Chains A and B, each alone.
Chain A
Amino acid sequence: MSEPQASGKQSMSYDLGSRVRVRAGDPDHHTRVPRYVRGHTGEVVAVLGRWPLPDDSARGITPPRTQTCYAVRFSAADLWGSGDHTVTVDLWESYLDRP
């Protein structure tokens, strides 16, 4: 099974206001990264605390990794090419990289 992390990279922690890019990979297991944000860059607007990584829980990996989850805000213009709204998505740290 492939790991959610890109090869050779450990997940990192991010401060409020950081720019982060969502990893573009398409894992062959359950994940909580919606396709529409993959590869896109957003801003951390809240740090939500540490929770079990669903990718591990869904595969029966015990114990699952526990990671910080972030609320990351994207602009509609970036996601869709149009629109003046924002979309905020909660993402675990191993879904993210520095841009």
Chain B
Amino acid sequence: MTGHDDHVSQPAAARAGRLEERLITAGLTSDDEIDAFLTALSTRASPVNGARMAARAWTDPRYRDLLLSDGSAAAAELGFDWLSYRLRVVANDEDIHNVIVCTLCSCYPVSLLGPSPGWYKSFAYRSRTVREPRAVLGEFGVTLPDTVQISVWDSTSAARYMVLPRRPAGTGGLAAEELAALVTRNGLIGTALV
């Protein structure tokens, strides 16, 4: 898939650099503040967070209900009480497969999934997922029976979406920690089954 020029090109990085300089000069922020923010983000933001939430939902029906009704509260219950957005979680089941996209830009729950992959920001993913999700999923190696309906969520507001994948068969004996290790970032976006 093609890259998203606005996110990766050097002119954009240069613009960000000039903006940073001007904000610092104007006294609106400081190098230390920016460093502290980036450090907090890079140490906290990880797909391990989302995977822990999914595994907990697989093993605890009360938590699953909370996760699907109030994602932010469910995140806070596992210690992720610093989200800067309202989290909404949509669950896959035998009839529905969910997939997340942001057609307008690249909205994404970074703190629970880690930095977004390049393809998520690509024009190809953003334009094709709303139009032909079955073909896009096929390119990720996800082939769903025709009886499974695909539900695409376009993140156009201040809400951020995450998918709760289906618990894989044959994992009945696993503890939540072992289950969390099975959950991938792409599973939480909907471009993988787990």
Q: Which A residues are closer than 8 A to B by beta carbons?
A: 32-34, 36, 46, 48-49, 51, 69, 71, 76, 79-80, 83-92
Contacts and interface: CB of A to CB of B under 8 A. Distances in A.
B128 to A, nearest CB: 11
B100 to A, nearest CB: 10
B132 A83 contact: yes
B110 interface: no
Contact of A83 (B104, B131, B157, B158): B131
Contacts of B134: 85
A34 B156 contact: yes
Contact of A88 (B131, B133, B154, B158): B154
Contact of A85 (B104, B150, B155, B159): B150
B86 A87 contact: no
Contacts of B42: none
A43 to B, nearest CB: 13
B150 A36 contact: no
A69 B158 contact: yes
Contacts of A84: 146, 149-150
Given A36-B103, A85-B151, A92 B157 contact: yes
For chain B, give the interface size range: 20 to 34
Contacts of A33: 156
Contact of B151 (A69, A83, A88, A91): A88
A86 B151 contact: yes
Contacts of A46: 88
Chain B interface mostly: mixed
Chain A interface mostly: strand
11 contacts: A34-B104, A34-B154, A48-B157, A71-B159, A80-B131, A83-B132, A85-B150, A85-B152, A86-B152, A87-B130, A88-B153
A36 B133 CA distance: 15
A89 B153 CA distance: 6
Nearest to A89: B154
Contact of B86 (A34, A49, A92): A49
A40 to B, nearest CB: 12
B159 A34 contact: no
Interface in B117-157: 130-134, 146, 149-157
A90 B159 contact: yes
Contact of B156 (A49, A79, A80, A90): A90
Max chain B C-beta neighbours (<10 A), residue from A34, A85, A91: A85
B133 A48 contact: no
Contacts of A32: 104, 156-157
